[in-house]
Amino acid sequence: MKAAIFLLLAAAPLSAQGEFWGELKAGRYGVGFRALYQSDTARWYDPDYFSPGGQLAKKPRPIFIAVWYPAPADEGKAMIHRDYFRAITLDSGAPEFAPRLRKFTRDQACHYMMGKDYDDLTDEQRGRWEGLISTPVFAVMNAPPVDGRFPVVIYHPGLGGTFEDNAVACEFLASHGYVVISSAYQAADSSALEIDGDLETSFADVASLLRFAATLPFADASKVAAMGHSYGAQAMLGWRAQPNSRSTP
């Protein structure tokens, strides 16, 4: 497997003025977006959860997967940014985890876009927030992929980040012929959803994403690049330095 590294050590904040893309120019493709859940049965999540019968239930780790990919141009209606949060709960594969992740993602996005938590917004600020998340994005939910197989880019957010915090970069790359995959990378401790800087957790999640990429008929999992913001960039460098990263999946 060929591998490359992209580093995003800083990111400009989203602006309420105009579209998020600014001066960027799309490639030849439209962009499709889809989200789903898989389970990593090799790792336990919620280890202290008790089932109604009182037996200790060792549940597999839920892996949220977001995929941007090349799609036909002008295929369907563009999403708005709010749809990225909605996508977290569209799939019922993780009914306990998904609502927590959706709220966490919205609250984190609000904190970074507005400078305060959602529950602390004034009425005027809430109106501005609604305007931001109602802004059209470039991707189309569940658009059909174009024919062909495309290189894979794995994206890792930084500490406190969310799967869609560099959605513009993900959409941009997909429009130029890449399959971009992101995830929540939640801490191994199920009591919190923040990315906590544990490299082993990040490495294992990246391995899960690459195994998933290998199942996509439009993805060429023999050609993989890694992209990250802040801690995510460090995690991707650390992953690439692992002796087995080239052979994953």
pLDDT along the chain (249 residues), means of 10: 48 44 92 95 74 61 96 92 93 83 94 92 95 94 97 96 96 97 92 91 96 97 94 95 69
Rounded Cα distance between 21 and 3, Å, is: 27
Q: Could you tell me the two tokens for 53?
A: 């019968």
Rounded Cα distance between 11 and 238, Å, is: 21
* Cα maximum dimension of the chain: 57
* Backbone CA torsion sign across 106, 65, 207, 144: negative
123: left (phi over 0), alpha (psi -120 to 50) or beta: alpha
φ, ψ (nearest 5 deg) of residue 242 = -70, 140
Q: Could you tell me the two tokens for 214?
A: 């290998």
At residue 13, the pLDDT reads 36
76: left (phi over 0), alpha (psi -120 to 50) or beta: left
At residue 47, the pLDDT reads 62
At residue 29, the pLDDT reads 96
* Backbone CA torsion sign across 129, 132, 134, 137: negative
Rounded Cα distance between 183 and 213, Å, is: 12
Rounded Cα distance between 102 and 40, Å, is: 20
How far CA 205 is from CA of 40, 66, 199, in Å, comes to: 9, 13, 10
At residue 48, the pLDDT reads 61
